[in-house]
Amino acid sequence: MINLEGPIIKGKTSFNISARRTYSDILLNSAIWLNKQFDFANTDDLSMGYYFYDLNVKLNHKFNDNDRLYVSWYSGDDDIYFNYRSSGGAYKEKTRLNWRWGNTVAAIRWNHVLGPKLFMDLSANYTQYRHKMGIHIKEDDKANNYKGSMGINMKSGIYDASFRSDFHWSPTPKQDVRFGGSYTHHKFNPDVMELSMNSRETMDNDSVQTNDFNQTFGSKNILAHEYQLYAEDDIELTDVIKINIGAGYAGFSVNDRYYNSLEPRLSARFLVTDELSVKTGYAYMTQYVHLLSNNVINLPTDLWVPVTDKVEPEHSHQWALGAAYSVDGLADFTLEGYYKQMDNLLEYKEGSTYMSGDTDWQNKVAMGKGWSYGLELMAQRSVGRLNGWIAYTWNKSQRRFDRPGMVINGGRTFDAKYDRRHKLDITCNYKFSDRFDMSATWLFETGNCGTIYTQYYDSELLADEKDEQYQYTTTLGYYENRNNFRLNPTHRLDLSFNWHRKLSERVNRTLNLSIYNAYNNRNPFLVYVYTESYYRGDEWVEERTLRQLTLFPILPTLSYSISF
């Protein structure tokens, strides 16, 4: 990781540039390369691995006391790759598998003081989410005069350009008013599949036979416009009662269809004593972009899709109630509960697949309802050498899809994919001295849900199969309820050590050692059934075990920063 931060014009312009990249794939491919050097018979090339990188650039400029400009740019990608090339003999093969997803965010913001009580922020933003999965195979068979290639590319993305204005007005010392609006131009590319199959073969009679097939399936770009206006007022009614009341208006235009909604919100805080306060709140929200998650696998195959003339916006009501208690000089304690009700949630229909790009995604989805509720308890200490927090959350999230033609799980209620019942977060920071400090974070979370067919049984011939000449039945899988299986809980310890040193009057350096998953716990990424088949005498045996895949074991990071 590299981070550079400092002034360009003292007191006016400053910059911050940071970049980082993981290195586990470099180590793996180095091991593969070394192994190849000692294996003289193997002339094949192989490289594979996973890495992620991100790049962050920020620029701030102060024109005067009333005008500031902020420019930022972020780009990051995750990449899983597998490249294989055989190089020996008359037959050559090249296989490339690539799975890449990432974001780019660019923003420019102008902050202007309109008056002693009125501030304004104007910003222009561009965001991009991209996802691409591809397999490409090339063959060159000199012995049979054949050359061919096959490729599949799956792509999706969402590209937004927006303009936003926010105003902050404080008419009285006990009142803060915020209002503003935004416009966003969306371009959705939910799922596109590109298929290509090309071959060239020289026949015995020297004629050349070529086959070319190139086709693109899937949804075309969907363009949409989103408008938002909002206003909220933070009012100190009395010394003990403070309320925030507001409303938003949102409109979404897509495919000659216009959706709009009024979104009220209200929250209140009651100061029972100087140490104890109680707060409550309600909000109604509408969402015009859905997250479509694949239920089977915990990989970035989630799609962001817009509402359309067939797919309606998601609505939710949320209620919250909580209390905060502060022990002066020691810690702050909060307890908060919430209940959220959602409608028009989106899930893939049963049997549909992310991979089938030849079907419009709107025909692959079902709409239903959901609800979630939970409790969070937190204790936080911000002062002293030892500080940090302990946070525990219990929550439950469920779904039901029972609309005609959109039934999932037989219309019965089931746990949501991201229903993770317990979460515990313990973070400690300790400053031993001005030259050395450390932090430790221990995280525990219940595993994700997934569906496993737990039983298999023979089917019966269907009515239209009974008069077939060749009859055979299949084996059907059974599960009592969707998302019936939970992965093992995840837990890990992250450590960070900082050594500070003053190199000169103006130059300081910090050496940081961070260890992700310090005790190398094998947290589950996904589970699958592993089958080992073999002959035991004359008997064909299939032994099955449930196997868990872990992606990130212990991962140390070293960084060196200099400030001047």
Partner 1 sequence: MKKYSIIIMAAVLTTACTKDIEYKGPDSERMLIVNSITGSGDVPVLKVSHSAFFLDSYYRGNAIKSGVTVHLAINGETRAATYSDSLYGFTDGRAITEGDIISVYASHPDYGTVTASDTVPYAQDITFTERTREFVPAKTMSELFDDYVYDLDQESVDSVWVTDLDILGNGGKTDYYMITIEPRMTWFMYDDYEERYDTLVKDIHYRIPAETKVFLGQTDATTAILEDTEADSQFEYRKQSYIFDDLYIRDGNKLSFEFVMEKPDTLGWIYTFDEKNLESGSEPHSIADKIKDEVIYTLDVKLYVLSGAYYYYHKSVKDYGDAEEISFLSEPVTILHNMKGGAGILATYTSKSFHWERSYKFK
Question: Considering only CA atoms, which of 285, 288, 281 is closest in space to residue 224?
Answer: 288
**Whole-number minimum distance, CB 482 to partner 1, in Å?**
7
Among 327, 383, 551, 562, binds partner 1 (CB under 8 A): 551
Among 41, 143, 203, 462, binds partner 1 (CB under 8 A): 462
Q: Is residue 454 within the footprint of partner 1 (CB under 8 A)? A: yes
Q: Is residue 479 within the footprint of partner 1 (CB under 8 A)? A: yes
State which of positions 516-545 bind partner 1 (CB under 8 A): 520, 522, 525, 527, 529-530, 541-545
**Whole-number minimum distance, CB 291 to partner 1, in Å?**
15
Give the phi and the psi of residue 317 in degrees, each rounded to 5: -115, 135
What is the C-alpha separation between 279 and 267, in angstroms, rounded?
A: 7
Q: What is the largest CA-CA distance in the chain?
A: 97
Sole window of 186-194, 247-255, 374-382, 552-560 interacting with partner 1 (rule: CB under 8 A): 552-560
Kindly provide the b/e burial profile for residues 267-278, where b requires at least 16 CB atoms within 10 angstroms of the residue's own CB: bbbebeeeeebe
The residue (of 39 and 44) whose beta carbon lies closer to partner 1 is 39
Residue 174 identity: K
Q: Is residue 3 within the footprint of partner 1 (CB under 8 A)? A: no
Task: Give me 154's structure tokens.
Answer: 């799956």
The residue (of 31 and 114) whose beta carbon lies closer to partner 1 is 31
Among 476, 507, 511, 562, binds partner 1 (CB under 8 A): 476
Cβ contacts of 385 within 8 Å, gap of 6 or more: 430, 431, 432
Sole window of 1-9, 272-280, 316-324, 480-488 interacting with partner 1 (rule: CB under 8 A): 480-488
Among 276, 554, 560, 562, binds partner 1 (CB under 8 A): 554
The residue (of 186 and 482) whose beta carbon lies closer to partner 1 is 482
**Whole-number minimum distance, CB 236 to partner 1, in Å?**
51
* 193, 152 contact by CB (below 8 A): yes
- Its sign, for the CA torsion 328, 331, 337, 342, is positive
Among 553, 557, 559, 561, binds partner 1 (CB under 8 A): 553
Question: Considering only CA atoms, which of 452, 285, 305, 299 is closest in space to residue 365?
Answer: 305
What is the C-alpha separation between 154 and 131, in angstroms, rounded?
A: 8
* 183, 225 contact by CB (below 8 A): yes
- Fill in the per-residue mask, 144 to 183: x = in contact with partner 1 (CB under 8 A), - = not in contact: ----------------------------------------
State which of positions 278-297 bind partner 1 (CB under 8 A): 294-297
Q: Which helix (H) or strand (E) holds 174?
A: none
**Whole-number minimum distance, CB 514 to partner 1, in Å?**
15
Q: Is residue 488 within the footprint of partner 1 (CB under 8 A)? A: yes
Q: Which helix (H) or strand (E) holds 29?
A: helix 24-38
- List, as one string, the DSSP characters of 102-146: EEEEEEEEEEEEEETTEEEEEEEEEEEEEEEEEEEEEEEETTTTE
The residue (of 386 and 461) whose beta carbon lies closer to partner 1 is 461
Among 107, 493, 518, 555, binds partner 1 (CB under 8 A): 555
What is the C-alpha separation between 188 and 224, in angstroms, rounded?
A: 8
Report the alpha-carbon angle 559-563-564, nearest 5: 155
The residue (of 511 and 529) whose beta carbon lies closer to partner 1 is 529
Q: Is residue 58 within the footprint of partner 1 (CB under 8 A)? A: no
State which of positions 492-511 bind partner 1 (CB under 8 A): none
Instruction: Give the distance, in angstroms, between the CA of residue 295 and the centroid of all CA atoms in the same chain.
Output: 15
The residue (of 63 and 530) whose beta carbon lies closer to partner 1 is 530
- Its sign, for the CA torsion 431, 432, 436, 442, is negative
Q: Count CB-CB contacts under 10 A for residue 470.
A: 5
What radius of gyration do the chain's Cα atoms show? 29
**Whole-number minimum distance, CB 405 to partner 1, in Å?**
7
Among 2, 34, 276, 291, binds partner 1 (CB under 8 A): 34
State which of positions 318-357 bind partner 1 (CB under 8 A): 348-356
State which of positions 110-129 bind partner 1 (CB under 8 A): none
Q: Is residue 49 within the footprint of partner 1 (CB under 8 A)? A: yes
Q: Is residue 305 within the footprint of partner 1 (CB under 8 A)? A: no
State which of positions 361-420 bind partner 1 (CB under 8 A): 405, 408-410
Question: Considering only CA atoms, which of 254, 236, 125 is closest in space to residue 187?
Answer: 254
* 299, 283 contact by CB (below 8 A): no
Among 549, 560, 563, 564, binds partner 1 (CB under 8 A): 549
**Whole-number minimum distance, CB 147 to partner 1, in Å?**
22
Q: Is residue 478 within the footprint of partner 1 (CB under 8 A)? A: yes
